[in-house]
Amino acid sequence: MSVKQITRRDLIKGAGLAAAGSVLPVSLVELAFANEAENFTFAYISDSHIQHIRGTEFVRNWDRGLMQAVAECRLMDPKPDFVVFGGDLAQLAKPEELDHGAELLSNVPGKLHMVMGEHDYYLDYGEYWSKLFGPQWYSFDHKGVHFVVLNSILTYDAWNNRWGSGQERMAQMAGLDNPDGSPFLVGDTQRKWLERDLDGIDHDTPIVVFSHSPLQKIFKGWNFWTDDAEQVQALLKPFKKVNVLYGHVHQIQYNQIGNISFNSVMATAWPWPYPSSYAQAPSYLSKLTVPMNRADPFFERDATGWQYIDVNSGRLAAHFLLPENAPRTVAFDPAQGHPVDQGFQDPANRIPPQTHY
Ligand SMILES: [Fe+2]
Ligand SMILES: [Fe+2]
């Protein structure tokens, strides 16, 4: 049974089964992991943009996206080992938004790992977020894999100091194509921390990095961009299996740079356009093979989704669960040495974009 033929309900119930059939031969999985690690799955929800209107009112559609992802996540069998939220929980970093988002996320099964997004940060430099969720960068080990969480949405002091208030700073950073925005940074402090964190870790240990912005340069005009991406990549270079999983772009992307596989995740709030369809300036994404219809104004959940991730060989396979759309899998292909969209690689198979007048 191909992934395309499986319904969304089947995929949730049979997550492990579908993964075993679509990622790697079982013998290879066993060989790859030997005694050092086990196969497991975790769930990843991102970019919910919970938006406060007034009093106890919030934008209903953004709430619904997060609620649906959490509810589906609870039905997964086998249960995910943990859940990651990939950033942009709030729209304007207001305490009301972060509180409400935290309440909705309190229903995920098992441990929750949080990643900082720019929409959670620029009002108060992440102070309230940190009170709720803890440190903005950290690492942990799970079943033989070393996980690193970075706050990749920092920027230059000169830009921060341009604005008179936190609200103004937040409003500037909240726009997709704002020419007055500023590129993202991991920054010196975290890069030094990362160097120390990785020191002494065996180079055969699979590494998974969670960041909100892509740790690669895709399209600067929309801040699909991290200014010190190459310096972070250099720290990850000694390791044989490195995976970077990022949110922020609200669409499926994948790439391979040297030893590092990159996978983006879907948003539960709304889809962003594809850089290749709108950008007047060059886009650096190597391949964008998974365009979907978007966005249907008559269907509020169009082109949104969440994902579960297999770590079968220390390489990630991202299974995207897309409301009212066929599920998709982007998995590392050992033969080709990079992630591959397993259902939609052939451009002839693409769904043409819709035109709305
Ligand atoms: Fe976002
Ligand atoms: Fe973002």
- Kindly list the structural domains of the chain, giving each domain's residue range(s) and its CATH number in brackets, ordered by start: 15-349 (3.60.21.10)
What are the angstrom distances between the C-alpha of 105 and each of 46, 63, 150, 300? 11, 11, 20, 21
Mean of the pLDDT values across residues 32-53?
80
Nearest alpha carbon to residue 150 among 98, 214, 204, 242: 214
pLDDT of residue 46: 98
Mean of the pLDDT values across residues 243-266?
94
Ligand 1 ion: Cβ-proximal residues, 5 Å cutoff: 47, 88
Contact 65, 286 (CB under 8 A): no
- Alpha carbon dihedral 301, 343, 208, 223, in 10-degree steps, equals -50
pLDDT cut 70: percent of the chain above it? 81
pTM of the predicted model as reported, rounded to 2 decimal places: 0.86
Q: Is 221 a residue whose pLDDT tops 90?
A: no
CA of residue 270 to ligand 1 center, whole Å: 8
In whole angstroms, how large is the CA radius of gyration of the chain?
19
CA of residue 342 to ligand 2 center, whole Å: 27
Segment among 130-139, 185-194, 261-270, 324-333 with least mean pLDDT = 324-333
Nearest alpha carbon to residue 342 among 327, 326, 329, 332: 329
Contact 208, 246 (CB under 8 A): no
pLDDT of residue 327: 87
Residues in the chain: 357
Residue entry with tokens 């997550």: 15
Cis link prior to 295 (omega < 30° from 0)? yes
Q: How far apart are CA 172 and CA 256, in angstroms?
A: 31
pLDDT cut 90: percent of the chain above it? 67
pLDDT tens digit sequence for 98-145: 999 999 999 999 999 999 999 999 999 999 999 999 999 999 999 999
CA of residue 225 to ligand 1 center, whole Å: 13
CA of residue 135 to ligand 2 center, whole Å: 18
Q: Give the max Cα distance, the chain.
A: 60
Q: How far apart are CA 77 and CA 70, in angstroms?
A: 14
Between 170 and 272, name the one with better pLDDT: 170
**Secondary structure of the chain in HEC code, one letter for each residue:** CCHHHCCHHHHHHCHHHHHHHHCCCHHHHHHHHCCCCCCCEEEEECCCCECEEECCEECHHHHHHHHHHHHHHHCCCCCCCCEEECCCCECCCCHHHHHHHHHHHCCCCCCEEECCCHHHHCCCCCHHHHHHHCCCCEEEEECCEEEEECCCCECCHHHHCCCCCHHHHHHHHHCCCCCCCCCEECHHHHHHHHHHHHCCCCCCCCEEEEECCCCCCCEHHHCECECCHHHHHHHHCCCCCEEEEECCCCCCCEEEECCEEEEECCCCCCCCCCHHHHCCCCCCCCECCCCCCCCCCCCCCCCCCEEEEECCCCCCEEEEECCCCCCEEEEEECCCCEEEECCCCCHHHCCCCCCCC
CA of residue 293 to ligand 2 center, whole Å: 22
CA of residue 247 to ligand 1 center, whole Å: 7
Query: Considering every ligand atom, which ligand is closest to the CA of 48?
Result: 1
Q: Is 34 a residue whose pLDDT tops 70?
A: no
pLDDT of residue 354: 56
Q: Is 30 a residue whose pLDDT tops 50?
A: no
Half-sphere exposure of 305 (CA within 13 A, CB side): 26
CB within 8 Å of 106: residues ≥ 6 apart: none
Mean of the pLDDT values across residues 278-306?
70
Contact 255, 286 (CB under 8 A): yes
pLDDT of residue 37: 53
CA of residue 216 to ligand 2 center, whole Å: 14
pLDDT of residue 33: 42
Work out the pLDDT band at 38, boundaries 50, 70, 90.
confident
Half-sphere exposure of 327 (CA within 13 A, CB side): 25
